[in-house]
């Protein structure tokens, strides 16, 4: 059986759909990368606040704000990852049923 060659002449609709899919995947990957960076930075800030509290002998602790900000960053990173996963899942559904738009 001869191998099928890829169809070089895509319709404009297919090309536009492929570009849309590529953009969704690129955006999802970018959001994941940004979420990773926020997680690392928020962990560093939380660790610095913990260290400051541990070493502080003045009995006044001001690290709650930093911990709260770090927790918010982690929450936003989680939300971005969920959005990225949802976008990828939608693409999978579309691939299984390409005529549904």
pLDDT digits (tens, 9 = 90+) for 23-77: 999 999 999 999 999 889 888 888 888 888 777 767 665 667 777 888 888 888 8
Find the length of the chain.
101
Whether residue 5 lies inside any domain: the answer is no
Query: Model-level pTM?
Result: 0.56
Whether residue 1 lies inside any domain: the answer is no
Whether residue 2 lies inside any domain: the answer is no
Q: Averaging pLDDT over each range in 3-7, 30-34, 68-72, 89-93, which range is the top one?
A: 30-34
Whether residue 8 lies inside any domain: the answer is no
Whether residue 78 lies inside any domain: the answer is yes
Whether residue 72 lies inside any domain: the answer is yes
Q: Binning pLDDT at 50, 70 and 90, where does residue 1 land?
A: very low
Question: Which residue range is the domain that position 23 belongs to?
Answer: 13-55+63-96
Total tally of structural domains belonging to the chain: 1
d(CA 50, CA 56): 10
Whether residue 20 lies inside any domain: the answer is yes
In three-state form (DSSP H/G/I as H, E/B as E, the rest C), the secondary structure along 16-81 is HHHHHHHHHHHHHHHHHHHHHHHHHHHHHHHHHHHHHHHHCCCCCCCCHHHHHHHHHHHHHHHHHH
């Amino acid at each position: 059986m001869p191998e099928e060659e890829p169809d070089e002449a895509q319709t404009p609709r297919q090309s536009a759909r492929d570009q849309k899919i590529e953009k969704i995947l690129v955006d999802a990957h970018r959001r994941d990368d940004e979420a990773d960076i926020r997680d690392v930075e928020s962990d560093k800030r939380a660790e610095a606040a913990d260290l400051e509290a541990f070493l502080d002998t003045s009995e006044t602790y001001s690290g709650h704000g930093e911990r709260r900000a770090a927790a918010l960053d982690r929450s936003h990173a989680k939300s971005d990852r969920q959005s990225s996963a949802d976008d990828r899942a939608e693409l999978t559904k579309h691939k299984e049923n390409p005529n549904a738009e």
